[in-house]
Amino acid sequence: MAEYSPPTTEQEFQVNFAQLKPRMNRTEAMLESSRCLFCFDAPCIQACPSGIDIPQFIRQINTGNVTGAARTIYEANYFGNACGKVCPTEVLCEGACVYNLQDVKPIEIGRLQSFATRAQMDSGEALFGPGTPTGRRVAVIGAGPAGISCACELRALGHEVDVFEAKAQPSGLTVYGVAPYKITNEETLAEMAYLQGQFGYTVHYNAPIASRADVQKLEADYDAVFLGIGLGSTSTLGLPGEDRVGCVGAVEFIEQLRQQHHAVAVGRRVVVLGGGNTAMDAASESARMGAEHVTLAYRRSKSDMGAYDFEYDLAKGVGVEGLFNVAPVEITGNGKVEGVRFVRTATTGGQVQPVPGSEFVVPCDMVIKATGQSKQTVFLGLIEGLQLDAKGRIILDSRTGQTTNPRYFAAGDAGNGGAEVVNAATEAKVTARGIHEYLMSLK
């Protein structure tokens, strides 16, 4: 039974996709920050991939120094506002907060982080600016968390930066992929505008780098190239019927949802294939779009799912039903999707095996494949000397981000194979310093 009615207006969409971590007001921020114990050797800092000095910024909020708090956050992570909202804080900083040991609600670090950074953005006051010009030029491919973070840090170090982005907006999957109940388009783009206003890099939109000629032009025009291209489209499953109308990739479905909101049509009965966080998002989103029945089907057991427990709980909380130890064998239908034929599975010695004679069909009119994103191997093959590992990830030096072609550097999903916004932002900042080292060594 549907818990949500299909939204027909932007207002209804916003109600169905109400923010999980809404913006705090000043009173809430003062109250919450006053609970912090300002721990010595704070475990929350250790758990933050970008190493933000969390007790420091919470103390700054509590003493009324919101600008100082925003500076503390942005010095560690240029996606400070977005990360306060989209990070899986439940398993990172907030999961490590000492209050958990006493069964007391941990400090709402993410919301405090977004409070301080948003207040700073709204003030319009710059915190940083470009460094003394070095005369060196860097091309950044991709305006996602990796590309934009790298661009900010390179500008702070005095290099000229041009970003080339295939799509029409910056921030990559933050605006095209993350669930709309975690962050709004407005919030994401406000941070992008705030960063660009301070650092002054140029972004060329609708400008994919797609051919060998494009690559050669960048090599001729720039001293170094940063690859912040992320991953590709949803991988195909190779199932009969996968091309039926109504069978879509999760990344493509979510991108449409993020851009068109209530204008997107969702089936009445939806089957989501997969057990990762993207599957949980696609299932929750379908339910919030008013699907009457959403089934999340995974080939192993519930405890084997790659998704965080809290993401599965979130999906269950909006009526999604889990179906475990099943593998899809066919998308049934006549032109359009009418169901998914599954076979039950058993796992022996870590291997998933079909159980003979156990096939059954789950009727549905939409199938969302959340079975992973492909790698951009074709594009990366255009770059001479660039090596990938067996999983299609760019091989790079973990200290400098330099690839096997010395003029190319990389970070984010394209290098780590797919992680979180905070990882892409952090790795890219480190890589920008690697690029700086390289540029300063050029004659």
Ligand X SMILES: Cc1cc2nc3c(=O)[nH]c(=O)nc-3n(C[C@H](O)[C@H](O)[C@H](O)COP(=O)(O)OP(=O)(O)OC[C@H]3O[C@@H](n4cnc5c(N)ncnc54)[C@H](O)[C@@H]3O)c2cc1C
Using CB under 6 A, list all residues that contact ligand X: 86-87, 141-147, 164-167, 172-174, 177-178, 182, 208-210, 228-230, 251, 254, 278, 281, 379, 412-414, 419-422, 424
Of the pair 112, 251, the CB lying nearest ligand X is at: 251
Nearest to ligand SF4 of 98, 207 (CB atom):
98
Please name every residue paired with 332 in a beta bridge, in sequence order, or none if there are none: 339
Phi-psi region of 421 (alpha: psi -120 to 50; beta: other; left: phi over 0): alpha
Pick between residue 89 and residue 332 the one whose CB is nearest to ligand X.
89
Member of 97, 239, 257, 435 binding ligand SF4 (CB under 6 A)? 97
* Residue 14, C-beta contacts closer than 8 angstroms, at least 6 positions apart: none
Nearer to ligand SF4, 93 or 154 (CB): 93
Look-up of token digits 């982005």 = 165
Stretch that binds ligand SF4, among 97-105, 192-200, 303-311, 375-383 (CB under 6 A): 97-105
Using the structure block, give the residue that is written with the tokens 């995974």. Answer: 298
Integer CA distances (angstroms), 346 to 327, 340, 354, 358, 423, in order: 10, 19, 6, 11, 35
**Residue (50 or 198) nearer to ligand SF4, CB:** 50
Q: Could you say whether residue 42 binds ligand SF4 (CB under 6 A)?
A: yes
How many CB atoms within 10 Å of residue 335?
9
**Pairwise CA distance, residues 153 & 145, whole Å:** 12
Cα 219 to Cα 215: distance, rounded to the nearest angstrom: 6
Q: Which is nearer to ligand X, 174 or 325 (CB)?
A: 174
Q: In angstroms, rounded to a whole number, what is the distance separating the alpha carbons of residues 434 and 120?
A: 29
Our CA angle for 62, 65, 70, nearest 5°, is 100
Stretch that binds ligand SF4, among 39-47, 155-163, 303-311, 413-421 (CB under 6 A): 39-47
How many angstroms separate the CA atoms of 64 and 243, rounded? 57
Instruction: Kindly state whether residue 52 participates in binding ligand SF4, applying the rule CB under 6 A.
Output: no
Asked if residue 39 binds ligand SF4 (CB under 6 A), the reply is: yes
Please tell me whether residue 353 adopts helix, strand or coil conformation.
Answer: strand
Query: What does 38 bind: ligand X, ligand SF4, none (CB cut-off 5 to 8 Å by kind)?
Result: ligand SF4
Using CB distances below 5 to 8 A depending on partner kind, what does residue 271 bind out of ligand SF4, ligand X, none?
none
Minimum Å gap between C-beta 63 and ligand X is 29
Given 23, 28, 43, 323, the residue binding ligand SF4 (CB under 6 A): 43
- Shortest approach of ligand X to residue 275 CB, angstroms? 14
Radius of gyration of the chain (CA): 23
Q: Are 52 and 45 in contact, with CB atoms under 8 Å apart?
A: yes
- Partner touching 97 among ligand SF4, ligand X, none, CB below 5 to 8 Å by kind: ligand SF4
Nearer to ligand SF4, 107 or 421 (CB): 107
User: Which residue number, 36 or 231, has a Cβ lying nearer to ligand SF4?
Assistant: 36
116 near ligand SF4 (CB under 6 A): no
User: Does residue 37 touch ligand SF4 according to CB under 6 A?
Assistant: yes
- List the one residue from 98, 189, 237, 323 that touches ligand SF4 (CB under 6 A): 98
Which DSSP string do the residues of 204-253 spell out, in sequence order?
ETT----SHHHHHHHHHH-SEEEE-----SBPP---TTTTSBTEEEHHHH
| Residue 372 binding target from ligand X, ligand SF4, none, CB below 5 to 8 Å by type | none
Bridge partners for 343 per DSSP: 327
Nearest distance in Å: CB 424, ligand X: 3
Q: Does 109 bind ligand SF4 (CB under 6 A)?
A: yes
Region binding ligand SF4 by CB under 6 A among candidate stretches 92-100, 146-154, 322-330, 393-401? 92-100
Instruction: With residue 343 as reference, give the H or E element that holds it.
Output: strand 336-348
Smaller CB separation from ligand X, 139 or 291: 139
Smallest gap from Cβ 27 to ligand SF4, in A, equals 19
Grouping H, G, I as helix, E, B as strand and the rest as coil, residue 324 is strand
Is the separation of the CB atoms in 51 and 45 below 8 Å? yes
Q: Does 143 bind ligand SF4 (CB under 6 A)?
A: no
Taking a C-beta distance cutoff of 8 angstroms, is the pair 50, 424 a contact?
Answer: no
107 sits near ligand SF4 (criterion: CB under 6 A): yes
Do 75 and 91 contact (CB within 8 A), yes or no? Answer: no
Residues in touch with ligand SF4 (CB under 6 A): 36-39, 42-44, 54-55, 97-99, 107, 109
